[in-house]
Amino acid sequence: MRIAVTGVTGQVGWELVRSLQPLGEVVALDSRALDLADPARVRAVLREVAPQVIVNPAAYTAVDKAESETGKARAINAAAPAAMAGYCVDAGALLVHYSTDYVFDGSRDGRYREDDPTAPANAYGLTKLEGEQAIRTSGCAHLILRTSWVYSLRGGNFLRTMVRLAAARDHLKIVADQYGVPTPASFIADVTAQLIARRQASAALKDWSGVLNLTPAGRTSWFEYASRGLALLHRATQAGTEGRLPATSSASPGPEWQVPRMPSLEAIPASAYPTPARRPANSCLDLSRIENVWGMSMPSWDGLLATVLRDA
């Protein structure tokens, strides 16, 4: 099986190249090989590569910039997936595409199910929803995986920003009234590989197409997430500096992940930190479908955070 992976220099794409290797031949497509802003070129490149599966983590993810660069965001987040879906219809291929919790406005209590009404609160969420809609209406075989608060040890993300700020400041103000689930890129990639494998192996799932929520279990705020991550890295940094390491650690964090001193943290409301794009207050996604239909149990977000940071 030949699998084309887009956005391979990004957080999820880089991990997918690793996790998909056991399933077949992985063709890694970076932005030089596949210009997502040119839908015609997307179709041409895919015809040349001729994959049986396309896995598309590439996206325009600059949430605030999307408010003023909506055309660029739409080209990458909606028109490019539509072109991929068109190829999949012609070739009988499977499209695995990633979407976001930001297709919801975050105004409801509880967790969002896959079939709940969407109502994006910003341009980024709107363009990602348009990508979902283009894939579904194409009629191609597809898995649309909605996730949230993606992070990894490489690339830019909230946790890495917090570590950088902790090195420069004694006091950090962090939003505490927006809730979601931090999701490691490595976890997304590993679950993706399992989904593809199960779809191939199961008679009940081989023709399944639709949307799946994909995050760890649990719920947290940006404030709690930053507090937990910085504390873990601070303890590991101290242990390395003092020549002692926790039993669960193999090494002190690398220089870019070290937190030699713990700053004081202040919980603030989102209203005290205005941004061009409005963020949903509640980004929590319901996991019933992936657990009950696909038979996959999701681990806790904080357990995964500790696991990821042991390799920092």
Residues labelled catalytic: 124
Instruction: Report the alpha-carbon distance of residue 56 to residue 144 in Å, rounded.
Output: 10
Beta strand 183-184 pairing with 94-100: unpaired
Distance CA 236, CA 249 (A): 8
**3-state SS of 277-302?**
CCCCCECCECCHHHHHCCCCCCCEHH
AA identity, residue 312: A
Q: How far apart are CA 159 and CA 231, in angstroms?
A: 12
Q: Which of 119, 115, 80 is nearest to 103 (CA)?
A: 119
d(CA 286, CA 139): 25
Which residues does 312 contact at the CB level (< 8 Å), separation at least 6? 153, 233, 236, 253, 254, 257
How many whole angstroms from its chain centre is CA 170?
Answer: 30
Angle between helices 158-168 and 222-241 (to 10 degrees): 60
- Quote helix, strand, coil % in the chain, to nearest 5: 45, 20, 40
CA dist., res. 16 & res. 188, Å (int) = 8
Which DSSP helix (H) or strand (E) runs through 167? Answer: helix 158-168
Give, in order, the Cα–Cα distances in Å from 128 to each of 60, 67, 254. Answer: 9, 13, 34
